[in-house]
């Protein structure tokens, strides 16, 4: 099979298209022939060597795929070979054949094509977990969402609006803000006006950027407000990790003393979806809900770019350089 290998940590150009032996599923695993790859910012962080539990080089990145099951390992009863599935291997997904733990494989509904499926699983589960498990969003609340035109952001905007929240979308360009408004956001602002837009407060902040954005968002939280931090995109440049810049962005976040959370009843929470595998069964039920919303038209999968497998490094560069909107998908 062919796979994109990172022989060392670094920019998109380090990826090499390589012939590797076809994998064989082990106990508890399924083997999937990949038809579409959902690219995530986490894949860029893994390639750069700054993602949790990233393998040592050489390794194959890739956390989200869609395709067909071709074989099952010992102890796995399904889904049977030939089934169209979405799967989350965390690493190893930038390949033509991928071994995945069977509990992280889910059959696709007949109405969902591979590109749509590859745009939904990781981004949808992340948005759902951030908004409703960690953020506990309720109808009538004001929710600020950074990176609102990205893969997670476009889904989060729609889900928050569907839940009856009033959404402030934060995005870098007029076109991205227009997209967020088209998806239902009630307000949209650029990062330069973020603090001003938060002057009337927020009940929930869902933040993938961190750094200097943290303090205005944290200060704007109303009593019983919840701040959900699920990324630190401020640390990554268009090519590599900007370590000095990352340190400065960390300093700009300031300090939060636990005692100051008590009187205003504020919550500060963070999470990384790949580190909560014990939630696999619960994540399946969430995907039921996401697919139901997709079927009834209350959720749209926003795919901003579709590139062929041979151009996967360009897809990485597009995503890391903030040149994309919605989800970036690579097809085989």
pLDDT recorded at residue 278: 63
pLDDT recorded at residue 168: 98
Burial bucket for residue 169 (CB in 10 Å: 0-12, 13-18, 19+): buried
pLDDT recorded at residue 311: 98
Instruction: Give every CB contact of residue 279 below 8 A, 6+ residues apart in sequence.
Output: none
Residue 306 CB neighbours (<10 A): 15
pLDDT tens, residue order, the chain (332 aa): 999 999 999 999 999 999 999 999 999 999 999 999 999 999 999 999 999 999 999 999 999 999 999 999 999 998 999 999 999 999 999 999 999 999 899 999 999 999 999 999 899 999 999 999 999 999 999 999 999 999 999 999 999 999 999 999 999 999 999 999 999 999 999 999 999 999 999 999 999 999 999 999 999 999 999 999 998 888 887 777 777 777 888 888 888 888 888 889 999 999 887 766 666 677 678 888 899 999 999 999 999 999 999 999 999 999 999 889 999 999 99
Tokens of 77: 């009863």
pLDDT recorded at residue 247: 84
pLDDT recorded at residue 248: 84
Burial bucket for residue 259 (CB in 10 Å: 0-12, 13-18, 19+): exposed
Backbone angles phi, psi at 268, to 5 degrees: -120, 120
Place of tokens 């076809």: 22
pLDDT recorded at residue 253: 86
Query: What Å distances lie between residue 237 and 80, 241, 264, 317, CA to CA?
Result: 42, 6, 35, 11
Sheet strands (E) in 6-107: 16-19, 29-39, 65-72, 84-87, 97-101, 105-107
pLDDT recorded at residue 300: 94
Three-state DSSP state, 147: coil
Q: Give start and end residues of each alpha helix (H) in the chain.
A: 41-48, 114-128, 151-162, 174-182, 194-197, 214-220, 243-253, 280-296, 312-320
pLDDT recorded at residue 36: 98
Contact by Cβ (8 Å): 157, 148: yes
pLDDT recorded at residue 97: 98
Tell me how long the chain is. 332
| CA gap 57, 329 in Å, rounded | 24
pLDDT recorded at residue 85: 97
Contact by Cβ (8 Å): 202, 142: yes
pTM score, two decimals?
Answer: 0.94
Task: Give all domains of the chain, ordered by start, each with its CATH number.
Answer: 2-108+302-331 (3.90.180.10), 124-273 (3.40.50.720)
pLDDT recorded at residue 279: 65
pLDDT recorded at residue 154: 98
């Amino acid at each position: 099979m062919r796979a994109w290998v990172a022989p060392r940590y670094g920019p998109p150009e380090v990826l090499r298209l390589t012939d590797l032996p076809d994998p064989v599923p082990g106990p508890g695993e399924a083997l999937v022939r990949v038809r579409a790859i959902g690219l995530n910012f986490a894949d860029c962080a893994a390639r750069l060597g700054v993602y949790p539990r990233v393998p040592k080089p050489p390794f194959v990145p890739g956390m989200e795929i869609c395709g067909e099951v071709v074989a099952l390992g010992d102890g796995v009863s399904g889904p049977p070979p030939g089934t169209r599935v979405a799967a989350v291997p965390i690493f190893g997904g930038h390949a033509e054949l991928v071994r995945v733990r069977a509990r992280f494989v889910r059959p696709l509904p007949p109405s969902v094509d591979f590109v749509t499926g590859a745009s939904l699983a990781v981004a949808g589960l992340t948005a759902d977990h951030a908004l409703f498990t960690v953020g506990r969003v309720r109808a009538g609340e004001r929710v600020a969402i950074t990176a609102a035109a990205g893969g997670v952001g476009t889904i989060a905007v729609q889900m928050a609006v569907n839940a009856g929240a009033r959404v402030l979308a934060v995005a870098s360009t007029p076109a991205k803000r227009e997209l967020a408004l088209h998806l239902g956001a009630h307000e949209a602002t650029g990062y330069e006006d973020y603090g001003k837009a938060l002057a009337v407060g927020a009940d929930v902040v869902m933040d993938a950027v961190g750094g200097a954005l943290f303090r205005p968002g944290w200060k704007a939280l109303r009593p019983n407000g919840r701040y959900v931090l699920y990324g630190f995109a401020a640390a990554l440049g268009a090519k590599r990790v900007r370590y000095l810049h990352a340190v400065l962005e960390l300093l700009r976040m300031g300090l939060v003393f636990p005692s100051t959370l008590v009187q205003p009843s504020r919550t500060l929470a963070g999470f990384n979806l790949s580190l909560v595998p014990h939630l696999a069964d619960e994540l399946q039920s969430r995907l039921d809900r996401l697919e139901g919303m997709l079927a009834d038209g209350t959720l749209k999968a926003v795919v901003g770019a579709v590139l062929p497998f041979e151009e996967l490094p360009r897809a990485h560069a597009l995503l890391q350089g903030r040149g994309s909107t919605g989800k970036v998908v690579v097809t085989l």
